[in-house]
Chains A and B, each alone.
Chain A
Amino acid sequence: MATEPLLSVRDLSIDFALRTHILHAVRGVNFDLRHGQTMCLVGESGSGKSVTARALLGLVDRPGRISRGTIRLHDGIDIARLRPGGRAIRRVRGRRIGLVFQEPMSSLSPVHTIGAQIAEAVRLHRRLDRRAARARVAELLRAVEIASPEEMLDRYTFEFSGGMRQRAMIAMALAGEPEVLIADEPTTALDVTTQAEILDLIKRLQIERGMAVLLITHDMGIVAEVADQVAVMRFGRIVEQGSVERIFYDAEHAYTRRLLGATRKLERTGVAPRKSEVSPPILSVRGLGKVFEGRRRMFGRATSPVRAVSDVSFDLFEGESLGIVGESGSGKTTVGRMVLRIIDPSEGSIRYRDRDGASVDLCALGREGRRAYHRDVRLVFQDPFASLNPRLNVKQIVGEPLLIAGIANGRALDRRVAELLDMVGLDPLAMERYPHAFSGGQRQRIGIARALALDPRIIIADEATSALDVSIRSQILDLLIGLQARLGLSFLFIAHDISVVRYFCHRVAVMHRGRIVEIGDTATICSRPAEPYTKSLISAVPNPDPRAKRMLNRHRFTAAA
């Protein structure tokens, strides 16, 4: 700790002057970034962590304003005093401090080649002719471990996968050889295995170049894996900071403990083991497959068909939660939509055992039959914002299925909606409110109430908790577990997050490239996976324990292409 900090932030406050109030987004924040050290700024959404990071580069947009404090580089430049857009701040950006954004899709230009974009960053900092710049770009791409860089730099953004784009972003951030690298949620949009690779890369680059890294994240698992120092932010203040060991094993602030508690809770299972039943499955899927046909255009060639799902078979029993995990593009959402019959399967069968015990072939259902089926099988959406119509109030949203089915109206409808809201832990008096008045977690509860309105038997939850902060995530999962015990629901739980599935599901099916690679008890799959893909997937999940870094010692899976 004897080293001089490369960058020190003192008493930084940022205010946003809004129409009706001033939002104190950051309040009196202090921290230091040191040579060769990774500082993690961790907090939930709205805690001010991203604004802090952007302030370090003089990127606070209006109506935001740094109201107090200093951001001092080791040679005395105070970034907080520099004129935004001026020459001085531009000499800091890129050259002293590099930034990697969260969204590799939108932070790279779609109309320039990757090479041209990085070359621009290079030539802003150094006088190089075209050829030298190109050589330098290739060198940077090699540094971020992109194979055959000379070839790749002439490719466009859309030809890169998410992980490669993020590597290209990092290469761009490195172009000016900065002393400090800020990574703002660099892996949030990526799959776990890609996330592990990117975090690996950042760590390696840091060691090679001796940079200070400021990593912004909401995930305590990532913090445990990569941080040296941790600062926990909440509502614009750093409530606690210290070494990673101290934060994880000796936290003082109640909020830090709560955050850790919520994260660690998801390392265990939250459901009681199901007693093995003899009753036939409520839902039985056999040989399900889906090919998206290529679209024929009026002129030009038809696009080639895409096989999204092939030969998927599983059973769902009454009162059971079956998890389907997989990375993006593994076909898990398509399976969910086929079971819901929003998408027509190309092959295979789905049989549903209805309330009378009769077996229904879902693929042969007509309009009316499908309508009846949709009463029994309901969907909970991922995005709590897009899934509620902003123009309807809560009563209209939750009451809609009841009204359409003709089950209740008038007073009876009010009573039933109140009952449902109460069931999901919302105040029934909130019935007249519009969705914009609720937080993400509350909105998700409204979505669950809507799903419960018709007394369903199966609920398909498609990434139902992935848009939520970790503390709210476990609350919602506990709510679902409680509802399951009370109403005897079966869940088909689609998720990319192993920890959520481990907490919530009795059984798991692991999907990879449209197929189920492994299916079995959650405990077995999570602790003793048999298939190499499952092993790599599970070992890539960051472990919220700095003394047992799972991800950095992970099992690597190389797919046979």
Chain B
Amino acid sequence: MSDSALLAAVVADDEEGPALTVLRRSRHAAAASIGPWRLIASKLLRQRLAVAAGCVILLLYAIGGLAEFLAPALPDAARPQYTYAPPQPLHLFRTAPNGTTQFGPYVEGYRIAVDPVALRRSFVADTSRPVQVALFVRGPAYRLWGLIPMTTHLIGPVVSSQPMYLLGADRLGRDVLSRLVYGTRVSMSIGLAGVTVSLVLGVVLGAVSGFYGGVVDTLIQRAIEVVSAMPTIPLWLGLAAAIPLTWSPLSVYFVITLIVSLLGWTSLAREVRGRFLALRGEDFVTAARLDGAGEGRLIFRHILPSLTSHILAVVTLAVPTMIVAETSLSFLGIGLKPPVVSWGVMMQDAQNIRTIATAPWLLIWPALAVVLAVLAFNFFGDGLRDAADPYGD
């Protein structure tokens, strides 16, 4: 019934356009003067998975940015008495001796039990000694971003000498949660520098190669083939050995990523070249040439804007590669080295099967963090790639 009513409404005698039944007011179909970037943004926002992934990425960077404040302890505060202390569950409600229950977060303290047969010491929860936990507590002193002296932590034990290991402790009794939070900063940011270098090299060389063609193109393409034939892992090993020992571990790693990113630009350069070759022959580029546009203007005003969103997508997909590279190299002991804290360095502590058997949290948490970060970047990059061409379909 309603169907025919709808049809009757649209069938007018002299029609101006195709018959439509509007289901939903489209926000941008009506407004024709919305620029390409807002179209991309709205197309991206429609993909729930990509949006969720974007939120995760933002959250990870926020954690990295505020690491000192978010971590309950300092990353290298060792307390040998709590070696391999297991994670303590966080309880939110406390039962007073008189039987009433009230809000008051706490974790249970540790008691050392000795296995009479194996004579192995292990930690068991000690319900009689709850460690009171609160938000915004005073804890160990730190400098936020190395500048602002502060003592407030987001969460921590009210009495700062009491143990609180929400995600467990490592071989030296250091808090895994705090190390994970600090590691986020290093792991999430160190790849960015490398990606930036790859980006600049890839776009410039790809653009030159695709735009000018001919001999220049042939030379650059052959160079790309030579560079991409180089095996990266042996190169990393060699470079790691060649760098002076006096350098700080962080700057060593930084230099290595830069060098490896000098090899990593090739795929981006190929992609940019391909798109330049295609776009160079487009009518609108010929039109701009006939309008009198010089080469710079052709490249930067007419061709590159059509590529930017694709480049962004490629870069987003390159960041997780860098994160995985950091993690795996640190795990192998040729990337970052202690005292720097990163996810890969943390996993280095979980290299033997005995450790994994007795303290699985040493492997689980940093591995989960890596998986989460990589998946988030991949989902976001895929979404961005789909949204990158707002005029397709």
Complex: A237 Cα to B35 Cα, angstroms: 35
Contacts of B29 in A (CB 8 A): 20
Contacts of B20 in A (CB 8 A): 21-24
Complex: A27 Cα to B6 Cα, angstroms: 12
Interface bits B292-316 vs A (CB < 8 Å: 1, else 0):
1110010000100110000000000
Q: Is the CB of B14 within 8 A of A374?
A: no
Q: Smallest CB–CB gap between B116 and chain A, Å? A: 69
Contacts of A25 in B (CB 8 A): 18
Cβ of A243 within 8 Å of any chain B Cβ, yes or no, is: no
Cβ of B242 within 8 Å of any chain A Cβ, yes or no, is: no
Q: Is the CB of B18 within 8 A of A235?
A: yes
Select one of A27, A379, A387, A434 contacting B33, CB under 8 A: A434
Given contacts A22-B23, A46-B18, contact A437 B288 (CB under 8 A): no
Contacts of A23 in B (CB 8 A): 18-20
Interface bits A378-395 vs B (CB < 8 Å: 1, else 0):
110111001111110100
Q: Smallest CB–CB gap between A512 and chain B, Å? A: 26
Q: Is the CB of B33 within 8 A of A433?
A: yes
Cβ of B291 within 8 Å of any chain A Cβ, yes or no, is: yes
Interface residues of B in 10-27 (CB under 8 A from A): 10-11, 14-15, 17-26
The stretch among B188-196, B278-286, B343-351 that forms the contact with chain A is B278-286
Q: Is the CB of A20 within 8 A of B36?
A: no
Cβ of B34 within 8 Å of any chain A Cβ, yes or no, is: yes
Complex: A234 Cα to B19 Cα, angstroms: 10
Cβ of B32 within 8 Å of any chain A Cβ, yes or no, is: yes
Cβ of B230 within 8 Å of any chain A Cβ, yes or no, is: no
Cβ of B150 within 8 Å of any chain A Cβ, yes or no, is: no
Q: Is the CB of A381 within 8 A of B291?
A: no
Which residue in chain A gives the minimum CB-CB distance to B284?
Answer: A389
Select one of A236, A374, A450 contacting B19, CB under 8 A: A236
Given contacts A374-B292, A434-B33, A434-B35, contact A386 B18 (CB under 8 A): no
Interface residues of A in 526-546 (CB under 8 A from B): none
Interface residues of A in 331-368 (CB under 8 A from B): 340, 342
Contacts of B32 in A (CB 8 A): 430, 433-434, 436-437
Given contacts A24-B10, A393-B35, A434-B33, contact A378 B22 (CB under 8 A): no
Query: Is chain A's interface secondary structure helix, strand, loop, or mixed overall?
Result: mixed
Contacts of B305 in A (CB 8 A): 391
Size bracket of the B interface: 35 or more
The stretch among A103-111, A183-191, A398-406, A479-487 that forms the contact with chain B is A398-406
Complex: A20 Cα to B35 Cα, angstroms: 20
Contacts of A375 in B (CB 8 A): 292
Q: Is the CB of A20 within 8 A of B290?
A: no
Contacts of B291 in A (CB 8 A): 374, 400-401, 404, 450
Question: Which of B19, B21, B26, B306 has the most chain A CB atoms inside 10 A of its CB?
Answer: B19
Cβ of A2 within 8 Å of any chain B Cβ, yes or no, is: no
Q: Is the CB of A391 within 8 A of B36?
A: yes
Given contacts A20-B29, A22-B21, A235-B19, contact A381 B293 (CB under 8 A): no
Q: Smallest CB–CB gap between B67 and chain A, Å? A: 39
Interface residues of A in 75-127 (CB under 8 A from B): none
Cβ of A432 within 8 Å of any chain B Cβ, yes or no, is: yes
Select one of A340, A404, A437 contacting B293, CB under 8 A: A404
Q: Smallest CB–CB gap between B296 and chain A, Å? A: 11
Question: Which of A19, A24, A371, A388 has the most chain B CB atoms inside 10 A of its CB?
Answer: A24
Q: Is the CB of A20 within 8 A of B286?
A: no
Q: Is the CB of B287 within 8 A of A381?
A: yes
Q: Smallest CB–CB gap between B53 and chain A, Å? A: 22
Which residue in chain B gives the minimum CB-CB distance to A15?
Answer: B21
Which residue in chain B gives the minimum CB-CB distance to A382?
Answer: B283
Given contacts A434-B35, A437-B32, contact A235 B22 (CB under 8 A): no
Select one of B10, B25, B26, B36 contacting A434, CB under 8 A: B36
Contacts of A450 in B (CB 8 A): 287, 291
Q: Smallest CB–CB gap between B160 and chain A, Å? A: 55
Q: Is the CB of B293 within 8 A of A389?
A: no
Complex: A450 Cα to B291 Cα, angstroms: 9
Cβ of A306 within 8 Å of any chain B Cβ, yes or no, is: no
Which residue in chain B gives the minimum CB-CB distance to A380?
Answer: B287
Cβ of A560 within 8 Å of any chain B Cβ, yes or no, is: no
Contacts of B287 in A (CB 8 A): 379, 381, 387-389, 447, 450
Complex: A381 Cα to B286 Cα, angstroms: 10
Select one of A21, A24, A371, A432 contacting B7, CB under 8 A: A24
Contacts of B18 in A (CB 8 A): 23-25, 46, 235-236
Cβ of A254 within 8 Å of any chain B Cβ, yes or no, is: yes
Interface residues of A in 422-450 (CB under 8 A from B): 430, 432-434, 436-437, 447, 450
Q: Smallest CB–CB gap between B279 and chain A, Å? A: 10
Q: Is the CB of B302 within 8 A of A389?
A: yes
Contacts of B247 in A (CB 8 A): none
Which residue in chain B gives the minimum CB-CB distance to A405?
Answer: B292
Q: Smallest CB–CB gap between B76 and chain A, Å? A: 50
Complex: A27 Cα to B14 Cα, angstroms: 15
Q: Is the CB of A400 within 8 A of B288?
A: yes
Complex: A378 Cα to B288 Cα, angstroms: 11
Select one of A20, A27, A340 contacting B11, CB under 8 A: A27
Q: Is the CB of B21 within 8 A of A400?
A: no
Cβ of B391 within 8 Å of any chain A Cβ, yes or no, is: yes
Q: Smallest CB–CB gap between B161 and chain A, Å? A: 60
Which residue in chain B gives the minimum CB-CB distance to A393?
Answer: B33
Give 4 closest A-B pairs by Cβ, nearest first.
A437-B32, A387-B283, A24-B19, A401-B291
Q: List residues of chain B with CB under 8 Å of any chain A CB.
A: 7, 10-11, 14-15, 17-26, 29, 32-36, 282-284, 286-294, 297, 302, 305-306, 391
Identify 6 residue pairs between A and B in the complex whose beta-carbon atoms are under 8 Å apart, listed by A's number: A20-B26, A21-B22, A22-B21, A381-B286, A400-B293, A434-B35
Besides the known contacts A374-B290, A382-B283, 12 further A-B residue pairs in the complex with CB atoms under 8 A apart = A20-B22, A21-B20, A21-B22, A381-B286, A386-B282, A386-B283, A388-B287, A391-B305, A400-B288, A401-B292, A405-B292, A434-B35
